[in-house]
A and B are shown apart, each in its own frame.
Chain A
Amino acid sequence: MTTLPQSDIAIRVLRAGPLALLQDRGRFGVRHLGVTQGGPADLYSWAWANRLAGNPWGSASLEITFGGLQLVAERDLDIAIAGADLGATLEGHPVPLWQRVRWSEGQKLTFGTPVSGLRAYLSVHGGFAAPPAMGSVACVAREQLGGFDGYGRKLADDDRLSTFKPGITAAPGITPAPPHARPDFREPPQLDLLPGAQIAEFTGRSLFDAFNTWWRVDDRADRMGVRLTGPKLQCRIRSLISEGINLGGVQVPPDGQPIVLLNDRQTIGGYPRLGALSPLAASRLAQCLPGQEVRLLARSSEAVLREYRAFLAGFKG
């Protein structure tokens, strides 16, 4: 057992809002037990929030969905917020996103409603502290795993949140994310899809439709999966014997409307799939609000792998 750095109460929850979850990278090596992956639905923004807060890869951040959260600092903190613009204010003043911010003791940090995107990541220098469950603090309510209590509870009013005390102040050289690194979540995205699985079993017409349609993000969308509505896709196979499903898998149930499977998906399932979104495309989809439109773009694994490795190298060093 390694000794954990000292942790301390740093933040009090005044109003929990609809959904705020603690997320580190997620649970791995346990999916064969039926335990889901968890972790940030938008890996990209989560990675930026941690970097800007001066935290190493894998540190736990708060994933704030829709907004509505109000927190008060119980000591001076260095933080960064990346991802969605949820109208966050510090004592009534807009908080700049994608950069380091000082949050002083007693100040209230308030998230409003989505301006752009759906999920914001709040990282605190030092990282949030919580008891790991099966190797991770990623909060999955359905499985009663992770979160600040270790048993999958989302944030509630009056919760007090601990952070690790940073050993040293963060390196002074951390600069804000450059403009080109900040996605405009209002733009309709093109989502990279690696064809695979049962794609050959879809009709020619359906394959044309799949990649030449503006798909609409349905309101049946959560951390398990996002349903897309559009033309009905037809597959010669209606269901399969259940098998493992990877992140970003695009499954098509008999109603012909695809569901993209995200971090909290069930570990096995039995619907035919077109393939899987790239990890960064799954991240991007997780920022889409219901009603937004997306395109699926078939890509080769070589090009997508290059981009993903470049992303990881930039953050993991």
Chain B
Amino acid sequence: MLVTIDGKKIKVNKKCTILELATKNGIKIPTLCYHPDLRSDGKCGVCVVEVNGKLMTSCNNDISDGMIIQTTNERIIKQRKINAQLVGCNFEDEEEFRKWLKLSNMPDIDELKFKPHASQELDDSSHDIVMDFKNCVLCGRCIQKCRDIQTVNAICYKGRANATVVTKSLGKKLIDTNCVGCGQCSLVCPTNAIREKESYKEIKKLLKDPKKHIIAQTAPSIRVALGEEFGLEAGISVTGQMVSALKKVGFKKVFDTNFGADLTIMEEASELIERIRKNKDLPLITSCCPAWINFIETFYPEYLNHLSSCKSPHQMFGALIKTYYAQKTKINPRDIIVVSIMPCTAKKYESCREEMSVGGIRDVDFVITTRECAKLIKSFNIDLKLEKKMQFDNPMGPGSGGGAIFASSGGVMESAIRTAHYFLTGKEYSAIDFKVLRGNSGFREASIKIGNKTLNLAIIHSLKNARKILEILKKTRHKYHFIEIMACPGGCIGGGGQPKPTSKEIIKKRAKASYEEDKSLEFRQAHKNPNIIKVYMEFLGKPLGKLSKKLLHTKYSDKSKCGL
């Protein structure tokens, strides 16, 4: 195909959209509603170009032979400005709108002349997400994520023409819908109309209280993404700088949730072996992902017995901080405040669950997302890039490489198999890297031979695929032994609380960084981590022991809302 773009003749072999072709050739076209991972609906109309003299949106029109494309002239710019004004009619703060336009390569507009037609109240009923549709531009990315990728359908459009709004299913409050809190909507929202329920300001206040012993723990996927908030490229690990910045902010200790991940592996691998031995409740399904837990509780409660009873890593770690660490340091557990820095919005609700406390003391007091963490650090005028590298605190940590790879989809499975192999055969697997378990597909299957037994495994990410595998389970119950499910595309590195923008390309880079971190560590299997061995010797006893069961395991219950 021969296409002329801005007077330049280009030969194209592969079919692509006008926008993709322009970007490839270094021509910038402003976009507002376009997202690389989602279907382009051409809603905002800001990306218009002239094709053979006609105005056309470039994000959802494919190129064809002989096209003559003009990407900028007076008419196009005039049209773009009108379209931007229409998009912005819901914005309350004009300044903010202009700032946002600037970020999207848009020329500045003169004035906002269109008035909003439909308004909605702010909805902060949910534990995880705040929906404030004042700034909604009706791009529809959130609905696409919720409907097509997560199949949750908690949000939808309402009305027609200029009365159209994005609202919650059946016009209810968010907490009364089926929302699982994955936060993918907030990750793609271009204007922060949907955002996480922030709690970093509360933490900032508490940090000034000298009586409180405030501890931060950071998830494996934070270190490979936090840098992006400070202008670094995706895929650069900032572990050391992050620890030092958090210390400067005022956290007494900064622990590594990888250690919690190691604990999860010890427990979950033991659970897997026990279930295989008893041939009961197979397949075992992982329970690290709180949005997935919400999903199975609301949509498939009949499969709850397949879930691993393990708490998620940060909850396990929180429980140990308030018992083992408190005993060791002789601090009253009521004075300890555990703040988890997570890539996730659903963990906010998880930490408030009744099941997640022991003797009236909550395992984790606050959960903040990666984005909030960056805001917290920035509010102290700290630039992460300039920080010196520091090590995580002891005695609980550092974690093993098995914990580090929890960040990406397939990581939990890989670490669990590393340890389960050792538990079953008493030997390490010949190669530590299980290449068959890695990849980008949302539905991966593999078989691994351990001793004389072959295990059928499945690795799932995004809830669309979770639904798919549960439908398969309805038919062939015993094909699989072990299934890992993560609600967010790509696993935690693509989590709902991660820096914006997040796209498939960026997720790949983050995954690479976390696998590199695994390789760089001395101990790469949870059961080899000397700190883990010590905790079990000094305090917990053995995996699935009495104390482990009390502190590290939990139960889940049917929370279906009659399919709402």
Q: Report whether chain A binds chain B.
A: no
**A→B interface (CB under 8 Å):** none
**B→A interface (CB under 8 Å):** none
